[in-house]
Structure 1
Amino acid sequence: MARDTIDSTPITGVAELAATLEAGCKPADAFRIGTEHEKFGFNLADLSPIPYEGPRGIEAVLTGMERLLGWERIEDNGLIIGLADPVGGGAISIEPGGQFELSGAPLENLHQTCRETNCHLSQVREVAEPLGIGFLGLGMTPTWRREDIPVMPKSRYQIMTRYMPKVGTLGLDMMYRTSTIQVNLDFSSEADMRKKMQVGLALQPVATAIFANSPFTDGKPNGFRSYRAEIWKDTDNDRSGGLPIAFDASFGFETYVEWAIDVSMYFVKRGSTYHDVTGTTFREFMNGALKGVIPDPTPTIGDWNNHLSTLFPDVRLKKYLEMRGADGGPWRRICALPALWVGLMYDDGVLDQAHEMIRDWSAEEREALRNDVPAGGLETRFRNGRVLDLAKEMLALSREGLKRRARVNDGGQDERVHLAAVEETLASGLSPADVMLRRYAGEWGGDLSHAFKDYAY
């Protein structure tokens, strides 16, 4: 997230909070696609992580991007931590370990998304290469130890770093050593949100398997296809996971609010200061728990929006839905991930078919799928088949949805062209992690320095 929200409107109750989510409802012809991706900066000379400060660090890259793009500077305690596009709505930000993130603008079609991605990566190379910096597209750092990774100077991350070890064993790995691709999608009504949430949550492990790309930790195989997904199982289960309540027939905006306000907050921002309020739930905040603890203790809509950004279910609800299950990866997969979900979600008929596909899955089956996929990947067993079979069904539905959208590029190709990377994966039956493991055992000769060449942008 590039910039924390400031909105001083006082909160009066749960219904008002639900209304902030319901405000995201829009007609289908106004649906947009927002794609986000993260990548690891590294020194080209020795493949080490780059620091924040100095002439060859994240600060220098952000400053160079500021000069190149003319975007608005975002600061924390006087230090640049991101950039915001005042026209298109996109943003650049940094994650705790220096992961460099593009939060793309809300765009009308996937051709625009792919152009945006290619343009961004070209701009990053233009700034970073003269500094001796490259960027790596994987779901987890393959060789760096956690203690070797520099800490970015963002106040919210300092609070999170102190809190994570209290609620799980792998939260710091999530913060400092993982990266993702995700897509943000719109909904037209509460019922449409509910259906998309259910489809997204049930099929998120399938997307994890398709995009699994984190099989190495500390310079050796870790036994998983997506160790990034495994990390999320022991990060902070109060605020993450498969969100079983979303499958209740009555699930809606207020249901999500009732769940969210009982999750511990990380911080409350007053002025430029981030106050550590971990251990206090948002409901307790609403009931006056922070009177005498922070300035201006009345909860505001800005506080609520910031709290929403610190919740991490596999599909996150704001004024849109965020699909959060995929590992980071090479540029073609940055286009393929949104293509997969847009095809499923943005045609009502296809969405109905996808919902029918998952309708009779039990809560136990959904949880087992989420638990087993990080290690098993596409080979994970499900009922009488494998996740690979589910992935092929998911792909077929997505292809049909994109065909029906009929959004063509200058060459007359519709959006199905962006599914090519997924099609190749499923045709071979090998996830990106499987391919990497084969290279590691074969042509790389056990030398992971090759990853920094083969998977760099």
Structure 2
Amino acid sequence: MARDVSDTTPIGARSELVEWIASGEKPREAWRLGTEHEKIPFYTADASPVPYEGSRGIRALLDGLQARTGWEPILENDRPIGLADETDGGAISLEPGGQFELSGAPLETLHDTARETAQHLADAKAVGEGLGLGFLTLGMSPLWTRAQTPVMPKARYRIMTDYMPKVGSLGLDMMYRTSTVQVNMDYASEADMVKKLRVSLALQPVAAAIFANSPFTDGKPNGYLSMRSAIWLDTDRDRTGMMAFAFEDGFGYERYVDWVLDVPMYFVKRDETYHDVAGSSFRDLFAGRHPRLPGERATRSDWANHVSTVFPEVRLKRYLEMRGADVGNLEHIVALSAFWTGLLYDETALDGAWELVKGWTAQERERLRAAVPTQALKARIAGRSVQDVARDALALARTGLQRRGYRDDSGRDETRHLAYADEIVASGRTQAERLLELYHGEWNGSVLPAFKECVF
């Protein structure tokens, strides 16, 4: 989740909200990618969950990483809830159930992303081993019930926890028991944003299928290949989904702003206090007539924080966030970034990707999103299997990365980071299906071996 910001500049007009998003436009030479991933910590001795407090808890993990990296602590009520790299722009944050998240710095190449992620994992592993902790490479907690899952001490999460059961049956599972990987991408103009948003929305279920990796819940198979993706189907539909309106004529910054304005709020932050206004209207705050905050008017930070609480499959802030995939190991994480970088950062590949998806209807896109959690690469859209669509998309991404021409110290271009996804799509077998085979085979009907085999 995003780090909540503080900017008390009042918002005077709706146009300022549009300008806030438009201010993210960057020329091609300034485009960067930022990779984020979450991972679930556990005690290696007994596969039990890790609480915040205690000599070997999440707080101790943050303290150890601060000492190791020199990153600055992010505090809430004098307790560390994350770390910030003030030099390069990366950050570590906590998800509601203790999922440990790296929000990577904006980097130029996938080689940089691979190095950054590997360094973070080495740091987390070194500190974690001293505390008896490991980290899972799964998109959902495979063993603990929701009641057994720890709760992190962040005020915004308490507000969300109270609100989620009112707007869906699985929002708390999303918050406390899932882990994702996403990549954040730049755009040059409103037209460039619209094209990238449409392509990435349409292909988000395809990415979810390729990277499906959450087949276990409560100690047994859950009936899905990506349970995490299924959870999003019943998590507060006011703020989630495929944004069919993004494909309508005339879509742009203003239409997105109007949608976000109508998404119910969670909170308003004033100084260090989070005011619970869950379910209320941002438009009321914008107009200075919010019933729970009389006299308060919306500020820039209110808008930035509110935008961070909408959860469509692709989120627009001052960059685009690809949000559809389960987390996995290092190669899985970087492959997700490679998939989207190859498609979106090369004009020819982007044109090809649009040709691939432009004929799909809103109904077909929705049906695909609903089918992928159980069927993954075997799901179908417009008469084709997702495996076939994924093969075409990966071919486009590969040529896009080749044209970017960034080489590592060994002279290899960025296409090498697609190898993980290439193998899955060529075989037609997701990581989730391989894990289920192990569960029914050499794991002898237990998920406990995952705590040794599915770890960073």
Same fold flag (TM > 0.5): yes
**TM-score, structure 2 normalization:** 0.99
Aligned length: 456
The answer to whether residue 147 in structure 2 is matched with residue 147 in structure 1 is yes
Matches of 1:211 and 1:25, distance apart in 2:
29
Shift of 1:29: 0.7
Aligned to 1:84: 84
Q: Contact 1:38 / 1:102 at 8 angstroms: preserved in 2?
A: yes
Q: Give the conservation status (yes or no) of the 8 Å contact 1:207–1:326.
A: yes
Q: CA deviation at 1:298?
A: 1.1
Q: Which amino acid aligns with 1:45?
A: A
- Would you identify which runs of 4 or more consecutive aligned residues in structure 1 move more than 3 Å? 293-296
Does the CA contact (< 8 Å) of 1:210 and 1:431 recur in 2?
A: yes
Task: Quote how far apart the aligned CAs of 1:289 are.
Answer: 3.0
Q: Deviations over 1:183-206 (max 9, x none)?
A: 000000000000000000000000
The answer on whether the counterparts of 1:2 and 1:94 sit within 8 Å (CA) in structure 2 is no
Specify the code of the residue in structure 1 equivalent to 2:126: E
Aligned to 1:313: 312
After superposition, residues 145-294 of structure 1 pair within 5 angstroms as 145-290=145-290, 293-294=292-293
| 1:445 and 2:447 are equivalent in the alignment | no
Kindly provide the amino acid, as one letter, of the partner of residue 98 in structure 2: G
Give 2:29's aligned amino acid. D
Residue deviations 1:308-354 (CA, integer Å, cap 9, x gap): 10000000000000000000111111110000000000001110111
Q: Matched residue of 1:187: which SS?
A: coil
Give RMSD over aligned pairs: 1.0
Unmatched 5+ residue regions in structure 2? none
Task: State whether structure 2 residue 339 is matched by structure 1 residue 340.
Answer: yes
Gaps of 5+ in 1: none
SS at match of 2:7: coil
> Aligned with 1:148: secondary structure?
coil
Q: Is the 8 A contact 1:155 1:274 kept in 2?
A: yes
Q: Is the CA contact (8 Å cut-off) linking 1:2 and 1:84 kept in structure 2?
A: no
Amino acid at match of 1:367: E
Inter-partner Cα distance in structure 1 for 2:295 and 2:116:
40
Q: Secondary structure at the match of 1:42?
A: strand
Task: Spell out, residue by residue over 1:342-388, the C-alpha distance to the aligned partner (whole angstroms, 9 max, x if none).
Answer: 00000011101111111111111011001111111111122322111
Say if 2:49 and 2:149, in contact at 8 Å, map to a contact too: yes
Whether the aligned pair in 2 keeps the contact of 1:2 and 1:82 (CA below 8 Å) is no
Where in structure 2 are the equivalents of 1:115-134 lying within 5 Å? 115-134=115-134
- Cα distance in 2 for residues equivalent to 1:302 and 1:134: 36
State whether residues 2 and 92 of structure 1, in contact with CA within 8 Å, keep that contact through their aligned partners in structure 2. no
When residues 117 and 296 of structure 1 are mapped into structure 2, their CA distance, relative to the original with a 3 A threshold, is farther
Q: Distance in 1 between the 2:390 and 2:412 partners?
A: 23
2:33 and 2:351 map into 1 onto residues whose CA distance is 20
Amino acid in the other structure paired with 1:290: H
Q: Read off the aligned partner of 1:338 and give its amino acid letter.
A: S
In 1: Cα distance, 2:83 partner to 2:220 partner: 35
Give 1:367's aligned residue. Answer: 366
Letter in 2 for 1:31: W
Contact 1:2 1:74 in 2 (8 A): no
Give CA-to-partner distance per residue, 1:260-318, whole Å, 9 cap, x none: 00011100000100000112121122122326x33861100100000010000000000
**Cα distance in 1 between the residues matched to 2:41 and 2:362:** 39
1:200 and 1:327 mapped to 2: Cα distance? 16
Tell me if 1:47 matches 2:47. Answer: yes
* Distance across 1 between alignment mates of 2:88 and 2:391: 35
Which range moves more in the overlay, 80-89 or 5-14?
5-14
C-alpha distance after superposition, 1:124-178 (max 9, x if no partner): 0111101100011110011110000010000000000000000000000000000
Give 1:3 shift. 2.3
- The AA in structure 2 aligned to 1:401 is G
For residues 203-237 of structure 1, give each alpha carbon's deviation from its aligned partner in whole angstroms, at most 9, with x where no partner exists: 00000000000111111111111010000010100
Shift of 1:13: 2.0
**Alpha-carbon contact 1:270-1:295 (below 8 Å) kept:** no
Amino acid at match of 1:345: L
After superposition, the C-alpha distances for 1:105-137 in whole angstroms (9 at most, x for unaligned) are 000000000000000000001111011000111
- 8 A contact 1:33–1:185 mirrored in 2: yes
Q: Please give the alpha-carbon distance, in whole angstroms, between the structure 1 residues aligned to 2:97 and 2:445.
A: 26
Secondary structure of 1:102's aligned partner? strand
| CA shift for structure 1 position 248 | 1.2
User: Contact between 1:22 and 1:190, CA under 8 Å: does it hold in 2?
Assistant: yes
Partner of 1:455: 454
Rounded Cα–Cα distance in structure 2 between residues aligned with 1:375 and 1:153: 34
What secondary structure is seen at the aligned counterpart in 1 of 2:367? helix
The CA deviation at 1:402 is 0.2
| Structure 1 residue 257: Cα displacement | 0.3
d(CA) in 2 for partners of 1:306 and 1:119?
Answer: 29
> What is the percent sequence identity of the aligned residues?
57
Q: Which whole-Å CA distance do the structure 1 matches of 2:242 and 2:3 have between them?
A: 27
The secondary structure found in structure 1 opposite 2:36 is strand
Mapped partners of 2:398, 2:216: distance in 1:
32
Contact persistence 1:208–1:229 (CA under 8 A): yes
Instruction: Find the residue that maps to 2:125 and give its secondary structure.
Output: helix
Tell me, in whole angstroms, the C-alpha distance in 1 between the residues paired with 2:13 and 2:385. 45
TM-superposed CA distance for 1:2, in Å, is 5.1
> Following superposition of structure 1 onto structure 2, how do residues 387-398 of structure 1 map, counting pairs within 5 Å?
387-398=386-397
Moved more, 369-378 or 441-450: 441-450
Q: Are the aligned partners of 1:96 and 1:151 in contact in 2 as well (CA < 8 Å)?
A: yes
> Secondary structure in 2 aligned to 1:444?
coil
Look up the SS of the partner of 2:24 in the other structure.
coil
Tell me the CA shift for residue 61 of structure 1.
0.2
Q: CA contact under 8 A between 2:24 and 2:318: conserved in structure 1?
A: yes
